Amino acid sequence: MSEIRKNLITGEYVILAPERAKRPSDFECPVKHEAPPERVDNCPFCPGNEDKTPPHNYICPDAGAWTCRCIPNKFSALSSEGDMWRNEEGLKVVMAGVGRHEVVIETPYHNRCLAVLPDEAMKCYMSTCLHRFNAFYADPRVEHVILFKNHGAAAGTSLEHPHSQIVGLPMTPAQVRYRAQDACDYFDDKGSCLVCRTIEEEASDGRRVIMETDNFLAFIPYAALSPFHTWIFPKRHMPCFTAITGTELDELAVVLKTVLWKVYKGLCNPDYNYVIRSGAPSDCNADHLHWYVAIVPRVTKAAGFELGTGMYINPSIPEASAEFLRDVK
């Protein structure tokens, strides 16, 4: 019998359809792509081609050969110059498309994705992300910052060299506001943070847990919208990613890399997106907001049903997917 589960954090419903259900091993890709070389002459992100990109805004380490490099996006979605303005004329609402858009080049190696980076390089990547989060929020025009990665064509990437993107918007997107409002309503009603409650419940249940460390819990949500959709929650209540401590950041680097390795190894390097969903530093005292990381392997496609309903059909069972990833070493 099918089951409709509700995700209280996102407010979304999902149909778990056992008739369509696949075993975790059915998602393994049958075609092995040829691995790209370590360096590609005409790749703008490969070492030696730094003059083919705008000058970096941040580099790690700050001396010697770079491990991680952050540059303005040549094809920025937002204008980096100009002031914020907003106009309303009848039903037409328009505002200045100003903000920040940068690319984080994750590694000098053209063929090394995050899943296979050494821990030290991964820590360098995470500290670069944190530095840019802080730098973006220091821009008075920026109201909301989002960090994301598109890995593979099905996840929307256009350049093969491993990179993430960070965008600083001059407004807060509707979906972010709705979820924050739901979290606030939950807090009003129950007197606790919904994410903190979820951590307690998932950790003690254990069936959907992929891995747990002192400061983080990685698990597949009870109402995961798609196969292997994974969340990494910091255990300490923190509305904004910028509140993370050095110890927590190093631990997150290892947890993120380990989960990505499990997805890479277990599912044969699928396309995926990952995103850091966080409140702003100005939310730092909010009792109801709690930042987290979401990883979404693109092993199924959203289609008309999803477009027409905002609901998803997941042909996998979260408990079975978590057990599968838990066992990938």
Active site residues: 163
Residue 296 lies near Zn ion (rule: CB under 5 A)? no
Residue 179 lies near Zn ion (rule: CB under 5 A)? no
Residue 199 lies near Zn ion (rule: CB under 5 A)? no
Do you find a cis peptide bond into 54, omega within 30 degrees of 0?
A: no
Residue 196 lies near Zn ion (rule: CB under 5 A)? yes
- Of 17, 72, 1, nearest to 225 by C-alpha is 17
The residue range among 85-93, 104-112, 180-188, 262-270 that interacts with Zn ion, by the rule CB under 5 A, is: 104-112
The answer to whether 106 and 127 are in contact (CB under 8 A) is: no
Options 5, 131, 207, 237; binder of Zn ion; rule CB under 5 A:
237
Residue 110 lies near Zn ion (rule: CB under 5 A)? yes
Residue 291 lies near Zn ion (rule: CB under 5 A)? no
Residue whose CB is less far from Zn ion, 76 or 111: 111
Residue 249 lies near Zn ion (rule: CB under 5 A)? no
The answer to whether 45 and 68 are in contact (CB under 8 A) is: no
- What is the side-by-side strand order in the sheet with 312-314? 3-7, 12-16, 312-314
The residue range among 70-78, 114-122, 153-161, 172-180 that interacts with Zn ion, by the rule CB under 5 A, is: 153-161
Tell me the closest approach of the beta carbon of residue 47 to Zn ion, in angstroms. Answer: 8
The answer to whether 245 and 214 are in contact (CB under 8 A) is: no
Residue 236 lies near Zn ion (rule: CB under 5 A)? no
Tell me the closest approach of the beta carbon of residue 162 to Zn ion, in angstroms. Answer: 8
Residue 290 lies near Zn ion (rule: CB under 5 A)? yes
The answer to whether 272 and 263 are in contact (CB under 8 A) is: yes
Q: Which of residues 42-61 bind Zn ion (CB under 5 A)?
A: 43, 45-46
Residue 132 lies near Zn ion (rule: CB under 5 A)? no
CA-CA distance, 247 to 255, in Å (whole number)?
Answer: 12
Q: Which of residues 6-35 bind Zn ion (CB under 5 A)?
A: none
CA-CA distance, 5 to 224, in Å (whole number)?
Answer: 9
Residue 193 lies near Zn ion (rule: CB under 5 A)? yes
- Of 275, 114, 287, 269, nearest to 195 by C-alpha is 287
Residues at the interface with Zn ion (CB under 5 A): 40, 43, 45-46, 110, 161, 193, 195-196, 237, 290
